[in-house]
Amino acid sequence: MKKGVFLLLIAAVSALGGLLFGYDTGVINGAQFYLTEYFDLSDALKGWVVGSALLGCFVGAIIAGPLSIKIGRKWSLIISAIFFTLSAYGSGLPEVFPQTVSMLVVFRIIGGLGIGVASMNAPMYIAEIAPSNIRGRMVSYYQLAIVIGFFVVFLATYFIGNDLTEAENIQFGWRRMFWSELIPSLLFLALLFIVPKSPRWLALKGKEEEALVVLQRINGDEDAAKEMVQIKKSLNETNDTVKVSYFSKAVLVIIAIGTVLSMLQQFTGINAVLYYGADIFEKALGFGKEDVLAQQILLAFVNLIFTFVAMFTVDRLGRKPLLYIGSAGMIIGFLLLSVTLQQGSVGVVSLIGVLLFIASFALSMGPVVWVLLAEMFPNKIRSVAMSVAVAAQWASNYIVSQSFPMVMGSDMNNSEPWNGSLPYYIFIVFILIIVFVTYKFIPETKGKSLEEIEEFWK
């Protein structure tokens, strides 16, 4: 197999973890309309069923670091694929089994564990495999796969729901929506057995000959030998018998910078827009409930298109320029929405604002954060550091998801001078913080090997 084809296969297989991330997160949006009726859920229980997966995501991200060190990136992804498969089947247990709300929540949490493990290991695995000149684009495949997962699941739930009556959807249609995830999860599980282990993990475990073989298949003999020298130098700079001190000032600073960047991805408000997109369109923009699916597909489509743009510019323009451009676009988008809300002139300009925000996020903070997290940490601390950063991201996701509807419904937000715009101004403040953090603390990693990036922190 040619090395280009081999590399693309590796990226595609590991990026399937991203597709399942998007699919598993998005499938509940379509299914919850009907399972709420089936179980006669209260608002509190509905929130618990929908949000329970985030608990699994948080725990999954925490255990992903030690798991990745112990058994490697590849086997960690295999475990995540098993979690996805169990969740997909169990969430839609056949009617012959006594499905309960508690069982549904358990299987949603299992799916969350899969997301948490995959969201840390998949981009890290791709970064450790990919040549430096195309690493940004390769890791961007992961974000692209997440977006495709969102888009595909919205289409899948639409076609499943449209083929059935409302009564049939309430009785068993929502089960089929969950089962539709079995197709990508089983494919992901099967294909993971044909990809190699990470060469940097192999080197970390002292299996240098195996690591060199993988690098040779990807880069050719000459480049592989050079990269192997850099990897060995990076790993040998600290005596192998001495454990890394994660509480040393130097290590804590690196982890803190990555963690803050990871959290800021959520504090842009992206998941408030994606999770509550229907509410925003209906309440803020005056759209009808019958347009819910069209609205979600429109958001997912814009997200998809501009993720492609990011993929083909991240290795040309660099990481930091995309963050600056995207931050400017997100601020303008939310300003358009906020001002029209304040003036009571909600309409096409408001819609343009929402779509501009989505497009700008997809161009910048969506893919670029995953690229930076996968490449900015030194080899010896990458697993643990990325585990902390991703766990913090899921915790931030939960905070935004829970607080957004509370702020939206507050008396302050619904009175002068805000008139419904307060949460978007809060998000704008966080986006300005992104610009500062990017300028002050984030290295430009374009075209550098992981070991060259490591030198930045010394």
Model pLDDT for residues 169-219, shown as the tens digit of each residue = 888 899 999 999 999 999 999 999 999 999 999 998 989 999 999 888 888
pLDDT above 90 as % of the chain: 46
Q: What is the CATH number of the domain that holds 49?
A: 1.20.1250.20
Model pLDDT for residues 98-118, shown as the tens digit of each residue = 788 999 999 999 999 999 999
Given a cut of 90, is residue 272 above it in pLDDT? no
Nearest to 374 by CA among 455, 210, 212, 261: 261
CB 305 within 8 A of CB 430: no
Given a cut of 60, is residue 288 above it in pLDDT? no
Amino acid code (one letter) for 138: M
159 and 82 both lie in a single domain: yes
Which is more confidently placed, 281 or 64? 64
In a domain, 215, yes or no: no
347 and 409 both lie in a single domain: yes
272 and 175 both lie in a single domain: no
Residue 371 φ/ψ, nearest 5 degrees: -60, -50
In a domain, 211, yes or no: no
Nearest to 395 by CA among 405, 406, 403: 403
Per-residue model confidence (pLDDT) at position 292: 57
In a domain, 233, yes or no: no
In a domain, 88, yes or no: yes
Which of these ranges, 1-5, 162-166, 364-368, has the smallest mean pLDDT?
A: 1-5
52 and 149 both lie in a single domain: yes
Q: Which of 175, 195, 215 is the last residue of a domain?
A: 195
Given a cut of 90, is residue 362 above it in pLDDT? yes
- What band does 279 get if pLDDT is binned at 50, 70 and 90? low
- What band does 278 get if pLDDT is binned at 50, 70 and 90? low
Per-residue model confidence (pLDDT) at position 11: 81
Most confident of 228-237, 322-331, 382-391: 322-331
Per-residue model confidence (pLDDT) at position 3: 67
Given a cut of 60, is residue 241 above it in pLDDT? no
Which is more confidently placed, 45 or 365? 365
pTM for the whole structure: 0.80
Amino acid code (one letter) for 338: S
Domain span at residue 6 reads 1-195
Distance CA 33, CA 37 (A): 7
Q: Which of 195, 210, 225 is the last residue of a domain?
A: 195
137 and 266 both lie in a single domain: no
Nearest to 114 by CA among 150, 82, 90: 82
Q: Which of 195, 223, 250 is the last residue of a domain?
A: 195
191 and 245 both lie in a single domain: no
184 and 254 both lie in a single domain: no
421 and 341 both lie in a single domain: yes
Average pLDDT rounded to a whole number, residues 246-254: 81
Given a cut of 50, is residue 239 above it in pLDDT? no
In a domain, 232, yes or no: no
Which of these ranges, 36-40, 155-159, 326-330, has the smallest mean pLDDT?
A: 155-159
257 and 139 both lie in a single domain: no
In a domain, 171, yes or no: yes
Distance CA 404, CA 388 (A): 24
249 and 384 both lie in a single domain: yes
Per-residue model confidence (pLDDT) at position 348: 81
Average pLDDT rounded to a whole number, residues 249-253: 85
Per-residue model confidence (pLDDT) at position 99: 81
In a domain, 205, yes or no: no
Nearest to 39 by CA among 108, 116, 110: 108
283 and 391 both lie in a single domain: yes
Per-residue model confidence (pLDDT) at position 285: 62
369 and 429 both lie in a single domain: yes
In a domain, 234, yes or no: no
Helix axes 101-129, 382-408, angle to 10 degrees: 130
Total domains in the fold of the chain: 2
Per-residue model confidence (pLDDT) at position 281: 66
The mean pLDDT value of the chain amounts to 87
